[in-house]
Amino acid sequence: MVSTYNWPQALKTCIQSILKQDHFPHEIIIADDGSNEQTKTLIDQLNRDSPIPIVHVWHDDHGFRLSEIRNKAIVQASGEYIIQIDGDIILDSHFIADHLALMQKNAFLCGSRVWVSKEQSMELLKNGENPKLERHRFPIATLLNSMRNLSISHFLADRYKKKQLTVLRGCNMSFWKKDLLAVNGYDESIKGWGSEDAELAIRLINYGIKKRFLKFAAVAYHLYHPTNSKANTAHNLQVLNQTITAKKTWTPNGILKS
C-alpha cells in the first residue's frame, strides 16, 4: 500500500523500486489523498507495463486525510498481509523480502528510513528508472538505517526500542489485514500531519498485537520534500493521548463508522 498526493515524479520512482524487488507483491494499492489527473495518468501508464496489478484508490481533495484514504485502501487490499509505505520512498531491492522474513502472527512491523538530502533527491528523480544511491552522502544521523544485516535484524526485532511504543514510521510498516480490521483501521478524526500511525499502533498493542522493529532490514530511502503543515498537531496528539489513557482497542471513526 503506497500513499501519495500530487507528486507523480516521486510516485513513479517509488513504484519502479517496487517492481525491482527480489520478492514481488501480488498487487500494489495506491492510497491517493486527492491528487489531480497527472497522478491518474501516471498510474494508468505504469499499469500497462506492470507485471502485477496496480489498484488506484482515490478520493476528493478536502485537505490532508491520510487516515481516511489508507482505510479505503486497506478495504480494497486483497491480500492477508499489507506492507505500507509512502510514495516518496525508494525501496532497497530486499525491502519486501525483509518484511516477510520478520513477519509473525499477532505482530506488526515498523522500520526506519534514510533521509535523502534535497540535492541528492533531485538527482535521484532525474535518474528515473536507475537512481544511484550514494551512502557517503546520507546524513550521519540516519546512516545506520541504510545498512542491512538480517541476522542482527532478527536479534533486534523484539528488543530494539521495545518500550518506546510510539517510535515508528508510517512510511515503513506492515500488518495482517485482519488485525487492522479488528481495531477498525486508522482513526479518521486525525487529519493533517502527525500521530495517525502511533495512535493505530497503540490500539493494536492494546488489542494484543505485538510491535516488532525492523532494524538493519527493509531499508527505505525517503526523498526530500518541504515539511507539511503541523497546524493540527495539538488535536492529533490529544487523540493519541486519549487512546493511551483509555487503553482503547477500537475507534468509532475508522473503517466502520458508528
- Whose CA is closest to 120, among 230, 247, 224? 224
**Angle separating helix axes 118-126 and 8-18, nearest 10 degrees:** 70
Question: Residue 231's pLDDT is what?
Answer: 86
Strands (E) located in the chain: 2-4, 28-32, 54-58, 81-86, 89-91, 107-111, 114-115, 172-176, 210-214, 220-222
Average pLDDT over every residue of 230-245: 95
Going from the C-alpha of 205 to that of each of 81, 111, 243, the distances in angstroms are 17, 16, 11
Checking if the pLDDT of 6 tops 90, the result is: yes
For the chain, what are the domain ranges? 2-246
Could you tell me which CATH number the domain at 2-246 has? 3.90.550.10
How far apart CA 12 and CA 66 sit, in angstroms, is 19
Count CA atoms closer than 13 A to 101's CA, side-chain side: 20
Mean pLDDT taken over the chain: 95
Residue 134 is predicted with a pLDDT of 79
**Cell numbers at residue 71, please?**
482505510
Q: Out of 26-35, 141-150, 186-195, 206-215, which region has the weakest mean confidence (pLDDT)?
A: 141-150
Distance of CA 200 to the CA centre of its chain: 13
C-alpha cell at 86: 509512502
Instruction: Quickly state the pLDDT bin for 242 (edges 50, 70, 90).
Output: very high
Q: Do the beta carbons of residue 157 and residue 99 sit within 8 Å?
A: no
Per-residue pLDDT of 58-89, as tens digits, reads 999 999 999 999 999 999 999 999 999 999 99
127-170 residue pLDDT tens = 766 777 877 787 777 888 999 999 999 999 999 999 999 999 99
pLDDT at residue 35, as a whole number:
98
Structure confidence at residue 129 (pLDDT): 66
Q: What is residue 147's predicted lDDT score, i.e. its pLDDT? A: 93
Please write the tens of the pLDDT for every residue from 16-50: 999 999 999 999 999 999 999 999 999 999 999 99
- Residue 16's nearest CA partner among 146, 172, 131, 119 is 131
Contact, 201 vs 211, CB < 8 A? yes
What pLDDT score was predicted for residue 230?
85
Quick one: average pLDDT of 215-231? 92
**pLDDT band, residue 172 (cuts 50/70/90):** very high
CB-based burial label for 199 (10 Å; 0-12, 13-18, 19+):
buried
How deeply is 187 buried, as exposed, middle or buried, from its count of CB atoms within 10 A (0-12, 13-18, 19+)?
A: buried
**Per-residue pLDDT tens for 86-117?**
999 999 999 999 999 999 999 999 999 999 99
